[in-house]
Amino acid sequence: MKKYYAESELIINPDGSIFHLHVKPEQLADKIILVGDPGRVALVASHFDTKECEIESREFKTITGTYKGKRITVVSTGIGCDNIDIVMNELDALANIDFNTRCEKNYLHQLELVRIGTCGGLQPYTPVGTYICSEKSIGFDGLLNFYAGRNEVCDLKFEQAFVDYMGWEGNVCITHPYVIDADRELIGRIAQNDMVCGVTIAAGGFFGPQGRELRIPLADPEQNEKIEKFEYNDYRITNFEMESSALAGLARLMGHKAMTVCMVIANRLIKEANTGYKNSIDGLIGKVLERI
């Protein structure tokens, strides 16, 4: 007996598109590039040879087209893992639920998702301009804790080692972090030998959760100093961004392949930032389009 998804659970617009993205099932490619900034969608699509659709709804801008014969959809997610919950569930529904019957399709339609983002570097070898692939993500965002199967897909030993090291056990103010791997094959294909692979902290905010203190003091004033020095099985934490954990975690639970690669725009150790990064991220976009 196939599960039926009621109108309140899977919201389909009168034109047959999915609720937030406004995309219809036939408009989605199997290869998907996710970006945070809606303005970055046009930059990715400027490389396309053809364009078949362009859709805009809230912070979600979508273009499907082709690059050197590959059909690719580029979607903006806006900022944060809450938006990744929406985007991943809606993309998965477009691929794996029949919108006419509101039931799951017979076979899994696997998607390949690469997020191209910006991040803050945490090591001396991750200066501004470095491309960092998130081999593992530590989710400070708590999203995956709401889904069954979370313990089966997460690296629980790494998780415990990190919580013990930070001294956060029993601290009810801080959400229990989850540790999740990106798709290994995808990482190998996209990173090749010109990107750094590391552990990314996906934070539930840009300021406090990333150890930035403006006028309000932090709950753990030593947070970033400890994070920069953390080591586990030869892994070091390389960068902060805000979506890679939710993307890798939901993709794993849904059966899709996903990873994140970010360009460093601020190095937190040496306190430098590049606000004019919008042109230089095009180099990273070019590499991902060639390798996806």
Interface with ligand URA includes 181 (CB under 6 A)? no
Under rule CB under 6 A, which residues in 183-222 are in contact with ligand R1P?
A: 206
Residue 139 binding: pick among ligand R1P, ligand URA, none (C-beta 5-8 Å cut-off by kind): none
- Residue type, position 214, single letter: L
Q: Pick the closer one to ligand R1P by CB: 37 or 155.
A: 37
- The site partner of 240 among ligand R1P, ligand URA, none (C-beta below 5 to 8 Å per kind) is ligand URA
Strand partners, 31: 72, 112
Q: Which is nearer to ligand URA, 120 or 177 (CB)?
A: 120
List 18, 259, 266, 289, residue binding ligand URA (CB under 6 A): 266
Q: Output the smallest distance, CB 119 to ligand URA, in A.
A: 5
What is the DSSP secondary structure assignment for residue 177, as one 8-state letter? P
Measured from each CB, the residue nearest to ligand URA is 120
Continuous H helices in the chain? 38-45, 81-96, 150-153, 156-166, 184-191, 223-229, 244-254, 281-291
- Pull the structure tokens for residue 204: 């539930």
User: Does residue number 84 form part of the binding site for ligand URA (CB under 6 A)?
Assistant: no
The binder of ligand R1P chosen from 28, 241, 256, 264 (CB under 6 A): 241
Nearest distance in Å: CB 169, ligand R1P: 27
Please pick, from the candidates 25, 65, 117, 139, the single residue that binds ligand R1P as defined by CB under 6 A: 117
Task: Kindly state whether residue 36 participates in binding ligand R1P, applying the rule CB under 6 A.
Answer: yes
Q: What is d(CA 39, CA 180) in angstroms, rounded to the nearest whole number?
A: 29
Residue 113 DSSP SS3:
strand
How far is CA 272 from each of CA 42, 45, 124, 157, 177, rounded to the nearest angstrom?
A: 28, 30, 12, 34, 27
194 CA to centre of own chain: 20
- 224: contact with ligand URA by CB under 6 A: no
Residues near 186 by beta carbon (within 8 Å), at least 6 away in sequence: 112, 114, 257, 258, 259
* 92 contributes a contact to ligand R1P by CB under 6 A: no
Binding to ligand R1P, residues 261-290 (CB under 6 A): none
- Smaller CB distance to ligand R1P: residue 12 or 285? 285
- Which residue from 243, 248, 250, 289 is in contact with ligand R1P, where contact means CB under 6 A? 243
Q: Which part of the chain contacts ligand URA (CB under 6 A), choosing from 1-9, 12-20, 39-47, 118-126?
A: 118-126
Q: Which residue's entry shows tokens 């998907």? A: 32
Cα-to-chain-centroid distance, residue 49? 26
Q: Which of 179, 10, 19 is nearest to 97 (CA)?
A: 10
Contacts with ligand URA by CB under 6 A lie at 118-120, 206, 210, 240-242, 265-266
